Structure 1
């Protein structure tokens, strides 16, 4: 299986080992910890597999409790908290090597007729993705060639990521930068037609760049890191149906960073400017020695 999008779909296809218990594999990669978006996406798959499928997820709230170990399977235990007339609630606990590493609560809502309808317009009139370079190309143009580690990452990346603003490469360039970032993203190949797969794939992608907004005023995004970073918690609200293999704009900002933690907010739009998803995440930032 060479297509990164196919590998992502496979990663999200959990094995059911008992009623309400699922197992997900974790790639054995040269990372300090399992990618948080992977755990969140798999946990949401586990929650969705215990519903009747007629109620799309409308929100999730999650805590990253311990770093996951790459290469070690993760077991997802689902608690069926509530099955109401309109809403379904699931609580998921992710366990690895006998320890809880992640908790997620997800709510599913039976679609209803519109009652109130409004939306603030996007923050800016952003350029479309077609004229922007993929991030790997932009890095290669600056460095002349991709370092081996980035080349491996680019070849297995399931999403095409294109930064709206050209990347900054020096500390002088970031000195006056606002804590904002915007990227266009889409899966590199079709993901099929299961709405739950698209929702979980976008949940995976939502953790890829959101904390960029915290780092932008401090250091170049793709240079050597001066901080150890880790996601602490993550919340998402899904407003409209979407496909994660079609272009979406991820507009990100950080209203505050203090006390070793940075808060980031994201808004995900389609190409017509319709708000699809709202995201909030807090990350831990510790300066490296």
Structure 2
């Protein structure tokens, strides 16, 4: 296991300070605010700590309310909304400096047999044939206007092996493309038997899900994003549905597209497949996407 992955696992190991109150810390961020995937994953950890082990996360719905301060701890308060025979519902509020910065509702379910169907996995090259982030990002170093952006991008990706199928948005500024993108990802190292908890894999996928989902919006308009300074953006809300078991340390295909952008906002939607073609997760996110004036 890489040191970066161990640091991420430590980040998700919240401190319990009361029965339903947890405290988390932040890691250095690419931008001067807490990474949205981090607070979403930590909130799901807090919710899951109050749920019986036989109930698995099947969905989450969240709103990003305020920018988080990466230099301050985050307190997560869990509200035990309902414990039914099959489903358990939790609400989590993340607080910093006395104000809520994030709100999450999550639902958990006991395993059941049921009807089965899924959308087919789209075509994609094998992840081993694609360059790593360490190989891809430095090629575009001259495009990043702000000093230190490349270094912060690489640091943010150290715990995750994330590989673009096609060129990322900042590589094709000015060239409008189909509003669709694909990345393969997995943790940068195997998770041993002591980290086999299904909730951990769900939380790790939640963490990664906020990294690239809005890229397809940028592609449609030939924009490179905040990294090259031609777009100001932030996540507004986030929803995920966990359909089938998966492991975050095995390759997952993140197939993303944008059906709409308007009013200073853009919508991204995606499906995450296991390498053998099982639809594991569906994701939808809306974000602020503004062109600086």
Which of the five TM-score ranges fits, normalised by the shorter chain? over 0.9
Give the 3 Å change call, closer, same or farther, for CA 22–264 of structure 1 in structure 2.
same
For residues 145 and 223 of structure 1, what CA distance do their matches in structure 2 show?
Answer: 8
- Kindly indicate whether the alpha-carbon contact (under 8 Å) linking 2:91 and 2:104 is maintained by their aligned counterparts in 1: yes
Q: TM-score, normalised by structure 2?
A: 0.91
Q: TM-score, normalised by structure 1?
A: 0.93
For residues 5 and 218 of structure 2, what CA distance do their matches in structure 1 show?
Answer: 28
For residues 227 and 66 of structure 2, what CA distance do their matches in structure 1 show?
Answer: 26
Alignment of 1:123-272 (within 5 A): 124-143=122-141, 148-157=148-157, 158-167=159-168, 169-172=171-174, 174-175=175-176, 177-191=177-191, 192-218=195-221, 219-220=223-224, 224-272=228-276
Structure number having the greater helix percentage: 2
| Superposition deviation, residue 195 in structure 1 | 1.3
| Superposition deviation, residue 166 in structure 1 | 3.0
Q: Runs of 5+ in structure 1 lacking a partner?
A: none
Which residue does the alignment assign to 2:62?
62
Q: Over aligned residues, Cα RMSD in angstroms?
A: 2.1
| Superposition deviation, residue 11 in structure 1 | 0.5
Give the 3 Å change call, closer, same or farther, for CA 22–102 of structure 1 in structure 2.
same
Q: Runs of 5+ in structure 2 lacking a partner?
A: none
Structure 1 moving runs of 4+ over 6 Å: 144-147
- Kindly indicate whether the alpha-carbon contact (under 8 Å) linking 1:31 and 1:70 is maintained by their aligned counterparts in 2: no
1:42 paired to 2:42: yes
- Kindly indicate whether the alpha-carbon contact (under 8 Å) linking 2:33 and 2:67 is maintained by their aligned counterparts in 1: yes
Q: Number of aligned pairs? A: 285
- Kindly indicate whether the alpha-carbon contact (under 8 Å) linking 1:87 and 1:108 is maintained by their aligned counterparts in 2: yes
For residues 258 and 92 of structure 1, what CA distance do their matches in structure 2 show?
Answer: 30
